[in-house]
Structures are given as structure tokens and as C-alpha cells.
Chain A
């Protein structure tokens, strides 16, 4: 069974640009979550999608957005990039329907560097 796939793995952007990250969950998983990981703040929840609906959103500004497609693949977008957006962005999938109930399966992440 293929794991969670995130693309691109590495990218460099400059301040003010925008970026789109992609996540393909494990086959059959309909829940996709996004987390931002930085040395200072650790792992912070961005948002969670299930069947193309955003069910929960973390405490991030509106520059961070996401969506999920009918095949459960998800994308997140960050507009007007700031230096502080440099981080590892992790996607996780699960089979959870009525909320999370068990294991999250993480991808290897997309490392974003903003110059």
C-alpha cells in the first residue's frame, strides 16, 4: 500500500510570492490534515479536510488556505509569503470519519524556504 505522498519535497521562494503544496493520501483515506513544523513552535495544526469539506482550521492567518478534491488529494496554498513561513509542511491522512479516532499517517513533508 503506497504511503502519503507530498510534492514538492523542497522549494525556495521569495517574500511576497505564493506557493502551492500537494498531498496524495493513502488509498481509501478520506481525511487529510496539514501541519506546519518549525523548530520554535513545533507541530502546529493548519486544517483538516474530509470529503472535500474543511472540518477544522487552526490558528493561522487567511493567507493559508487549502482544498480537497473528490479523489481525496489535497492542496494547501500560502499567499504573500513571509520569512516566518519557512517551515516543513506535513500532510497526514487517516480513515477517520466522525473525527479522528486513531493513527495519522504522515508524508515526508514539503520543506519551504522563504528568502
Chain B
């Protein structure tokens, strides 16, 4: 099965600074790379995703970069705001026809005003 490692497990940044979270996976057939955000008391919500034929994708203050050779992808959040405080999960999809996501252990991001 897919082995997924996510770093760091906790991250504190000052408001306005940038945050970067890295996810490493093992299955070279993985072709879909999403990031989910989970706020307190809620279920995870997709914030950005990328497919294997693209190296980078940006959506306003968040971006995802993919390095398929090294088998890792990263979440970048710029100009962080207090509402970015949450737990973030990566969940690479291990190839076509898979029915489950393997989630990383999560990164708790705290944005200090």
C-alpha cells in the first residue's frame, strides 16, 4: 500500500508569513495529489489538488507543487491569516482504480496574529 509521510507535524508562523508543508509518498503510480484542511469540529475539506501531468498549481494564496521524480508534493500558503489555522492533510491517490485515500498524519498550522 501507499506510504505517506507529512512534515512538519506542527507549524507556527506569524501572520503574513509563508507556510510550507511537505508530503512524501511511495507509490510511483500515484496520479492525484490533494490537500485537505480540517478546522476544529469539522470534516476535512479539499483546498487544492494537482494531477500528475502538472508541476504546479496556484489558487490565490495557496499553491501546490509536485515533484514526481522525488515523489513528493508540497502545500504553500503565502500571506498567512489567522483563519488559516487548522490541520492540513495530504492524501495522494495510489493510481487509477483505487478506492481509498491514504492520508498523511496531518500538520497543525497555527498563525499567530
Interface residues of A (CB under 8 A from B): 4, 31, 33, 35, 42-45, 48, 50, 55-56, 58, 90, 92, 96, 98-109
Contacts and interface: CB of A to CB of B under 8 A. Distances in A.
Nearest to A55: B99
Interface of B: 32, 34, 36, 41-46, 49, 89, 91, 93, 96-106
Contacts, number: 64
28 contacts: A33-B99, A33-B101, A35-B103, A42-B104, A42-B105, A42-B106, A43-B89, A43-B103, A43-B106, A45-B100, A45-B101, A45-B102, A56-B99, A58-B100, A90-B43, A90-B44, A92-B43, A98-B96, A98-B97, A99-B97, A101-B32, A101-B96, A102-B32, A102-B49, A104-B46, A104-B101, A105-B46, A106-B45
A42 B106 CA distance: 7
Contacts of A104: 44, 46, 101
B34 A103 contact: yes
Q: Which of B34, B36, B49, B98 has the most CB of A within 10 A?
A: B98
A100 B93 CA distance: 8
Contacts of A4: 43
A101 B97 CA distance: 8
A100 B106 contact: no
